[in-house]
Amino acid sequence: MNSLIILRGLPGSGKTTLANLLSENKWPVFSIDSYFTDPITKEYNFQFDKNHLAYKNCEEQTKQAMQNKTEKIFIDNVFSIDWEIEPYFKLASENDYSVFVVTVENHHGKENMHNISSEQIQKMAAKYKVKLL
């Protein structure tokens, strides 16, 4: 069974850390943040005007991995709004992948590494929806 494991949560919740742990350096981990992270220096430089390119890049990487029949694919993004996650459900359906969505909560009390203000995180939290049924 091929699986798409989506880790979602607010900035600073530990999505990337958990995705890397679960992937065991064996399976790919895709993220919108990767687009803004220098692969050599690991420096993060978010550019709002390129955010749409980051979303598209993450989707394309996922699509390519599915076409290559990668057994497990991990994605870590905020996914606070339905339109952000819907393309991945569509890709999974088209490529016969089971989807698992894991919501990661910040119980460790750490700050996000992207310097997103508490005010902005509160705005994200207000529109964040969890589908339990």
- Distance between CA atoms of 115 and 117, rounded to whole angstroms? 6
- Report which of residues 41 and 127 the model is more confident about: 41
Domains in the chain, ordered, with CATH? 3-127 (3.40.50.300)
How far is the C-alpha of 31 from the C-alpha of 15, rounded, in Å? 10
pLDDT tens per residue across span 30-52? 999 999 999 999 898 989 899 99
Q: What confidence tens digit (pLDDT) does each residue in 62-117 have?
A: 999 999 999 999 999 999 888 899 999 999 999 999 999 999 987 666 666 667 77
Question: Is the Cβ–Cβ distance between 23 and 114 less than 8 Å?
Answer: no
